[in-house]
Amino acid sequence: MQNNSIVQRSGFGSLTDLPCFELHYQGATVVVAPYGAQVLSYQNAKGRELFWLSKTALWQGNKAIRGGVPICWPWFGKAAAEFGAKAEAMPNHGLVRTLMWQVTEQRITEDEVAIRFAIELPALPWLEQQVRLEYLVSLADQLSLELQCKSPLLQQAALHSYFQLPQSQGASVSPLPPSCYDKVSNSQLQLPTTSLVFQGEIDRVYKGTTELLTLQAPEQHHADEAAAVIKVQQQGHDASVLWNPGAEKSSAMVDMHQGASDEFVCVETAKLQLSAEPLCLRQIICG
């Protein structure tokens, strides 16, 4: 309990003057910003940083922060036709990444340190009522992230986690289903293996993924056991999205520094099937 606390700070990395909260639990630290309710950093008790944040990330001017764990809601990617014509002109990945969330709870105990954010949105074009989202960030021996919307409405969501690795090319994720939708080739793939090895640009949607995925650094880094493996547990999902833009696309993004694409991979916990139901999406990270 002595080492457990929540403190406020101003600015993190390149994100000048960004209001943030630091959660401390038994030597581990999480940094989360009310802007987008976005987790920016997770250092475990051994001092290893598990999340990647771009050195040129932006937040002023209604910019989405590149790195950490952005929240995608109420759609993933472009808004589907089911959301209506008014949603077509709205930003990719939804509405809440660039809004300020309110802190509704701070909890410090011997067993965990937690902070809860909430945001209330006015009536949306496809729903004539206010909508409330809640997001719980809980730090103990592992990090737990939980996004909840109790309203039965048409919605998708994803926790778009950027995981930092000593090298992205050659990193692997397993176990995965034997088929996926590959956005790069715009095709459905039947695969001979249940493991994806990152090479070049990767943008794949795997439906029906298991609750536990293992992200492993390339083989040459396996000797450093502390940096070799990240466990990603998923709940309330129906898919996982694996993404890395590759060197060419990364170099064209103003909010990615040179060489950024070889520093991270995204393993995203997602609920993509459109249905008018409440949402509870959870990702638990251990590394």
Report the C-alpha gap between 190 and 66 in whole angstroms: 31
pTM: 0.95
226 phi, psi to nearest 5 deg: -65, -25
> In 10 A of CB 27, how many CB atoms?
11
Compute the residue count for the chain: 287
Provide the β-strand partners of residue 244.
202
280: which 2 tokens? 């509870």
Provide the β-strand partners of residue 206.
240
Per-domain residue ranges of the chain: 5-286
Residue showing tokens 């640009």: 201
- Cis peptide bond N-terminal to 175, omega within 30: yes
Report the C-alpha gap between 52 and 130 in whole angstroms: 34
Q: Three-state DSSP class for 261?
A: helix
Residuewise pLDDT in 10s, the chain (287 residues): 568 999 999 999 999 899 999 999 999 999 999 999 999 999 999 999 999 999 999 999 889 999 999 999 999 999 888 888 878 888 899 999 999 999 999 999 999 999 999 999 987 776 777 899 999 999 999 999 999 999 998 999 999 999 999 999 999 999 999 999 999 999 999 999 999 999 999 999 999 999 999 999 987 655 555 557 999 999 999 999 999 999 999 999 999 999 999 999 999 999 999 988 999 999 999 98
Q: DSSP characters for 53-114? A: B-TT---TTTPPPSBSBPEEBS-SSSPPGGG-GGGGGSPTTBSSTTSBPEEEEEEE-SS-EE
The domain 5-286: what is its CATH number? 2.70.98.10
